[in-house]
Amino acid sequence: MTAAASARQILTRLHEVMAGRTHAQYKLDRVVEIIAESLSSEVCSIYLLREGALELYATQGLNPEAVHVTRLAVGEGLTGTIANNIETLNLAEAKAHPDFAYRPETGEEQFHSFAGVPIVYRERAVGVLCVQHVDPRRYEDVEIEALQTTAMVLSELIAHKELVDGESVIDLEISHVENDILEGLPLVKGLAAGQAVFHQPRIEIDQVVAEDVEAERQRVYRAFDKMRDQIDALAREPEFGKGGEHVEVLETYKMFAYDEGWSRRINEAIDSGLTAEAAIERVQQRTRMRMREIDDPLLADRMHDLEDLSNRLLRIVSGQLGTAATQGLRRDTVLFARNLGPAELLEYDRRRLKGVVLEEGSLTAHVVIVARAMGVPVLGRVSGLRTRVAEGDEVILDADHGTVTLRPNQQVLEAFETRFARSREKQAAYAELRDVEPFTRDGTRITVMMNAGLRDDMSALAMSGADGVGLFRTEFQFLVSSTLPQRDRQMRLYRDVLDAAGDKPVIFRTVDIGGDKAVPYLDTAVAERDENPAMGWRALRLSLEREGLLKAQARALLEAAAGRSLSVMFPMVSEPWEFDAGKKVFEDQLAFQRDRRRQVPETIRYGCMLEVPALADMLDVLLPKLSFVSVGTNDLTQFLFAADRANPKLAERYDWLSPAILRFLARVSRSFVGHDVQLGVCGEMGGRRLEALALLGIGYRRLSITPAAVGPIKELVRKVDLGELTAQMSRWLAAPPPDMRGALQQWAGERDIEVE
Ligand code: PEP
Ligand code: MG
């Protein structure tokens, strides 16, 4: 008989036992009998995790009295080691292994050889299946395979509660590691608690043993075909043409998708009697186990990609499509993902989404900006998500200190509650500043506005007490819709935003699509492949060429602001003529409206963003043309340092407080002297206290920031003596200290100005 046929026979017998309407104990007793017999072993035992220890649940060959008596801690003895390391042991001489622990009640001293495999549920060991033999021999690979497959069947049965009898509850959800702490980079500060939910949910496998092997084989073939199509389609998308990390990932995907070895192993697993789903999972488990033994970060990355792909294949084959957002959040949630797009994040229910943990991510990636606007703390650059977090784990996210605690114990929970309460007190203190105007100690009024992008954001205006909306990112509407928003829909949004703002000003920025804000309906239709989208065909560059787009937006804005005042800002202006061209589209539309005797805005103010360094040298030409300029430090700094703002590898490399950036910004601010043009900053930098302090010290008096930062920044402003700060900053810029951040921190500390 071939190995596959014998494996299938074992599975079929196991399946019959499991399908019977009998007691769990009876089933387990039969399982150990079948395995012992099939593997010609004197002993076969099953240990399952109960109340934190591995308990002998069934045995063939060891002393039956030891059942439910012998208990081993995870990590104790060979069995405990297998569970702890989620590894397979295959030993000719068990006693020779350093972890061997002798249990006299089992009567196992006569057996020399030992092989054991973990029973894994959601990447965590919930038990161990092992065989022992009198003769000192190592088990054959096919025998180990058979054990592993059986372990998997057992795990699925446990998962479906088919093995739980009355009181003997098997711990599925409770890991042995309490207070497991993962570390990362704080991207949006804040605290959150909730249950762990994966953005790409794990697939539940309902049936493990195949009824019709041929049918399962066909299902896997079809799934492979579909997956390859999807990957190929992905490769044709413009964002993958740009080079860099995306492309590497895609290349790896392709390599795996077309990897004969992978599909062959899955087919072999089907031959041994597993369903398509179980076979995919089985192969994945085996790879995971192998990878655990190899300590190579590069391979770990690859593993990650294979894991993604394997999940994709599982989703296709099982028809369980969609993300956690489509399934809906049931409780307070901390979301885990490798990465997310801004639109994907916006699909989540804001009331339930309390925090986000990403394996990638960077401070100015748009998903992070959106999360910041939603007030959702985000921790990025966290590794180990897949192996250490289980769906449904209780989680405490401390994005202030850069940690996530998994499965916190009572003590940690209480400490968290105390901190949470303190942070709420602070929030309440900020709320009291809502109606207080932010004057510096020496009497300069600083304008603190907020950034917004969606209708929902507008409620934050009253709540935060911001002076207005200094940046309304109109492209968010484009990002969250599946088709191009028509003029009417745009107009309704802008009108609602103006209504919500009342007397406070709103600066609408025309669409900034492209870069990491790709919209499928535009990109695939019109965009050539951009090698480098952040520096490519985006924002005003795109709007000016797709004139219909800008015209429609101009009409929508003019109509929405009829009878009131309108402020329009153009993004990514690189040369003054681009501003002129953008303005002309609006002026033409205005004339058109007037011709038709339609009501038009009472006043229109035009401005532009300064995010392209070249524009800074043209301010003498530009400034006479406009009313305001807002520095977009997110883009500006990525161009100054030639460091992609969305690249997680560069997320921590350059500091906004570097003398190069501050000198540049100071020079920009000096260029405004003598011009009646408002100058502000609307990048993320302005919402961070230490950075805001530096900006105030180099002449910036208007900040537009994320709503949650309005309170803290107002508080900061009120503590600052602007004259003193300005003098200090100019000394530092003339002769930069080796650590500008440290120097500023110390300066603030000495003046009792809180900057963290
Ligand atoms: C910026 O670049 O700083 C900015 C505010 O615009 P966005 O983040 O939307 O590119
Ligand atoms: Mg920008």
For ligand 1, whether the C-beta of 475 sits within 6 Å is no
Q: Which two tokens stand for residue 578?
A: 């681009």
* Ligand 1 atom closest to the CA of 635, numbered from 1: 2
Predicted confidence at residue 673, as pLDDT, reads 96
The CA 430 to ligand 2 mean position distance, Å, reads: 28
pLDDT at 513: 83
Q: What is the pLDDT of residues 555-594, one digit of tens each?
A: 999 999 999 999 999 999 999 999 999 999 999 999 999 9
pLDDT at 174: 43
Write the DSSP symbol of residue 698: T
Residue closest via CA to ligand 1's atom 3 equals 632
pLDDT the model gives residue 582 = 96
**Cβ atoms within 10 A of the Cβ of 347, count?**
15
685 CA: nearest ligand 1 atom = 3
The atom of ligand 1 lying closest to the CA of 611 is 2
Q: Check the CA dihedral 150-151-156-162 and report its sign.
A: positive
Proportion of the chain above pLDDT 70, given as a percent:
92
CATH topology of domain 3-159: Beta-Lactamase (3.30.450)
pLDDT in tens, 82-125: 998 888 999 999 989 998 888 888 888 888 999 999 998 877 78
Is pLDDT of 202 > 80? no
Highest mean pLDDT among 57-66, 299-308, 336-345: 57-66
pLDDT 10s digits, 214-260 = 999 999 999 999 989 888 887 776 544 444 455 666 777 788 888 88
Distances (CA, A) of 559 to 43, 538, 544, 562: 82, 25, 20, 5
Confirm or reject: Cβ of 380 under 6 Å from ligand 1: no
pLDDT of residue 166: 52
Is pLDDT larger for residue 283 or for residue 507?
A: 507
Ligand 1: atom nearest CA of 473 is 9
pLDDT at res. 242: 47
Residue 456 has pLDDT above 50, yes or no: yes
Residue having the nearest C-alpha atom to atom 9 of ligand 1: 473
Task: Evaluate: CB of 682 within 6 angstroms of ligand 1.
Answer: yes
**Strand, coil or helix: what is 392?**
coil
Q: Is the CB of 683 under 6 A from ligand 1?
A: yes
For residue 637, the CA-to-ligand 2 centroid distance in Å is 10
Task: Please report, for the chain, the start and end positions of each structural domain, with discontinuous segments joined by +.
Answer: 3-159, 180-413, 468-610
What are residue 476's phi and psi, to 5 degrees? -60, -35
Domain 180-413 homologous superfamily, CATH: Phosphohistidine domain (3.50.30.10)
- Using 50, 70 and 90 to split pLDDT, how confident is the model at 292? low
Ligand 1 pocket mutation, candidates 611, 685, 700, criterion most atoms within 8 A of CB: 611
* d(CA 685, ligand 2 centre) in Å: 12
What does the pLDDT average to over 486-511?
96
User: Where residue 670 falls among pLDDT bands split at 50, 70, 90?
Assistant: very high
Per-residue model confidence (pLDDT) at position 90:
93
CATH number for the region 468-610 comes to 3.20.20.60
Query: Quick one: pLDDT at residue 730?
Result: 97
What is the 632 CA–ligand 1 centroid distance (Å)? 5
Among 54-58, 169-173, 591-595, the range of highest mean pLDDT? 591-595
Q: What is the pLDDT of residue 114?
A: 94
Q: Tell if the pTM clears 0.85, that is, is over it.
A: no
Residue identified by tokens 């790896």 is 252
Residue of the CA atom closest to atom 1 of ligand 1: 632
Query: Which band of pLDDT confidence, cut at 50, 70 and 90, is reported for residue 169?
Result: low
| pLDDT (average), residues 707-736 | 96
- DSSP states of 39-99: TT-SEEEEEEEETTEEEEEEEESS-GGGTTT-EEETTSHHHHHHHHHT--EEES-GGGSTT
CA distance 657 to 677: 25
Q: Which atom of ligand 1 is nearest to the CA of 632?
A: 3
**Which of residues 162 and 557 earns the better pLDDT score?**
557
The pLDDT assigned to 662 comes to 98
At 406-418, the pLDDT tens digits run 999 988 899 899 8
Residue nearest to atom 6 of ligand 1 (CA): 632
With a 6 A CB cut-off, is 512 part of the ligand 1 pocket? yes
Q: Model confidence at 520, in pLDDT bands (50, 70, 90)?
A: low
List, for residues 644-668, the tens digit of each pLDDT value: 887 777 777 789 999 999 999 999 9
Contact by Cβ (8 Å): 17, 23: no
Mean per-residue pLDDT for 508-528? Answer: 69
Cα–Cα distance measured from residue 645 to residue 361, given in angstroms and rounded to the nearest whole number: 10
Q: Which of 682, 684, 695, 703 to mutate to test the pocket of ligand 1 (most atoms within 8 A of CB)?
A: 682
Question: Residue 415: what pLDDT?
Answer: 87
- 131 three-state secondary structure: strand
Tens digits of residue pLDDT in 31-49:
999 999 988 889 999 999 8
- Index of the ligand 1 atom closest to the CA of residue 633: 3
Binding site membership of 514 for ligand 1 (Cβ less than 6 Å): no
% of the chain exceeding 90 in pLDDT:
52
pLDDT at 295: 67
Q: Write down the mean pLDDT value for the chain.
A: 88
| CB-based contact 657:755 (threshold 8 Å) | no
* Alpha carbon distance 151, 415 (integer Å): 39
The whole-number pLDDT of residue 528 equals 53
